[in-house]
Each structure stands twice: as structure tokens, then as C-alpha cells.
Amino acid sequence: MNRIDKKFKDLKKTGKKAFIAFITAGFPSLPVTEKLIYALDKIGVDILELGVPFSDPMADGPVIQAASQEALRKNTHLVDILNLVKKARKKTEMPICLMTYYNPVFCFPDDKFILEAKKSGVDGVIIPDLPPEEGKGFIAAAKGRGLDTICFLSPTSSKKRIKLISGISQGFIYYVSLTGVTGARSKLPEDIRKNVRLIKRYTRKPVCVGFGVSTLSQAREIKKIADGVIIGSAIVKKIKENSGSPDLIKRVSNFVAKLNQ
């Protein structure tokens, strides 16, 4: 049982739901990212998503795109992020997933990436542009090493698709709450409850909701119907607002803590 499975098992025992935070690795710098990892663990973030900067994202909205571009300008590479996780593992057991596009993994390449990610202490990977039909080899190899591949479902997913993803996804199922890219929204889609219930008819795996969630009230609403909530753009925006401030870690931590009340 890896850290992700253990976390959901522990949360279930206490009747709690997972709070999953996303930050872009290397934004505003890798040393700051390292400090944020420890700070977010300390305030009770259940699972951390570390975004791997990529030049041509397909799922990221403007806030995360801008953060990725800044990290790339500072020469943040996948190997640097793996080394960061390895270093952080000396101080934290918080489950850590990498959210990356497939190109950096392909160039690593697959087998080496899986081996190095597991050795570094990464628990799972989320790859938006690697559909399971094309990623069977990667998913099987990752599973063999104990590295979870977390797959997506969306409001447009058919029942056939739900069954497929329910059988393949490990760790949890990532439900994209809307059709579009990441980013804060003033209102959650009305079909979330219905769609999460439908997914849960086909799986016992945790279902976590992300994309568009940015406020405490929205997070609480999601936790009533799903096994976890994922917040990214709002956190990355807060990091940007405090970039260069000596109080960045404190301000971001306080902001995230309020979202997880």
C-alpha cells in the first residue's frame, strides 16, 4: 500500500475527505517550492500535486501557464523536480503526485522515469495528454513499480468510458468538473453531484474533483459529494501575488489553511 492508498484509508476511518493542493514546481523558484512542500504538509494538506512545467500545456489555464513559463525561464527540469522530491522525502511522508505532460516523460524515457520517480519518493503521476488507450504500456510498467497513474473523467465521459477508467486508474479518479482548462470559477457546474454519483456506481476507488474550485464554500460543497477536492489555480495565484515577499510561505499557508477548514 503506497502513501496515496494509505491516506484515503486513514481519511475514510475518520470520515474526512481529502484536500489536494496543486503548486507549480520551480515557481517562483525550486527553493521556495521546497519550503512550500513542508509548509503545506504542516497545515494538513492530504496530497500534493507538483506541476511539472511544460511549454505547450493543453489543460492549464492562464494562471498555471504563466507559472510554468516562469519556472521554465529559470531552467526547471524534470530531473530537478525528482531531486527535490527525493530531498523532501527526508522530512515529509505527505503523498506527492507529479502532474506532467507526456513529452518530458517520453524524453526521459518511460522506464527510466518510472524507476527514478519511484526512487525519488513520488507516489503517483497525472498525465492529461496520455489517454489510457495509448498509455497501456506506461500504466502497466508504473503499476509494476508501485507508482499510481491517476486518470481523468469529465462531464462528457460516457458510461463505457467511466467503466474503462474505473478499471485502470490507480490511487484515485480525477473528475474534471467542467469542460475547459484549469482556473477559478465563480460558480460550480450544476451537474457535479449527478456525475460523481454516476461514477461511484462503477467504482469503489476514491473520486476527487478539480478544475474551477477556488473558494472555501466550493471546497465544502465538493467534499459533501466526492472523496476529495483539488485546488490549484487559486493557490498558484496566491503564490504569484506574494512572489518576492519574505512572507510568501506564511501567506500562502494561511490561504490554503482557510480553504481546508
Sequential DSSP letters for 205-240: S-EEEESS--SHHHHHHHHHHSSEEEE-HHHHHHHH
Active-site position among 46, 60, 70, 148: 60
Contact yes or no for 33/25 (Cβ under 8 A): yes
The predicted pLDDT at position 60 comes to 73
Is 231 exposed, middle or buried, given 0-12, 13-18 or 19+ CB atoms closer than 10 A? buried
Instruction: Tell me, yes or no, if 49 is annotated catalytic.
Output: yes
- Pairwise CA distance, residues 199 & 163, whole Å: 8
The continuous run of DSSP H or E covering 78 comes out as helix 78-88
C-alpha cell at 208: 476527487
For the chain, residues with pLDDT lower than 50 are 180-185
User: Looking at the DSSP assignment, which residues form a beta bridge with residue 153?
Assistant: 175
What single-letter amino acid sits at 41?
A: D
Contact yes or no for 108/125 (Cβ under 8 A): no
| Domains (range + CATH), the chain | 3-259 (3.20.20.70)
**pTM for this entry:** 0.94
The predicted pLDDT at position 191 comes to 85
The predicted pLDDT at position 1 comes to 76
The predicted pLDDT at position 187 comes to 62
Active-site position among 46, 49, 70, 227: 49
The predicted pLDDT at position 59 comes to 64
The predicted pLDDT at position 179 comes to 56
Instruction: Tell me, yes or no, if 129 is annotated catalytic.
Output: no
The predicted pLDDT at position 189 comes to 64
Contact yes or no for 173/208 (Cβ under 8 A): yes
The predicted pLDDT at position 181 comes to 46
- Pairwise CA distance, residues 16 & 8, whole Å: 9
What Cα–Cα distance (Å) separates residue 54 from each residue in 59, 184, 190, 255? 11, 21, 32, 26
Strands (DSSP E) found in 119-213? 124-126, 148-150, 152-153, 173-176, 207-210
Is the peptide bond preceding residue 109 cis, with omega within 30 degrees of 0? Answer: yes
Q: Directed axis angle between helix 110-120 and helix 78-88, to 10°?
A: 20
- Pairwise CA distance, residues 72 & 85, whole Å: 18
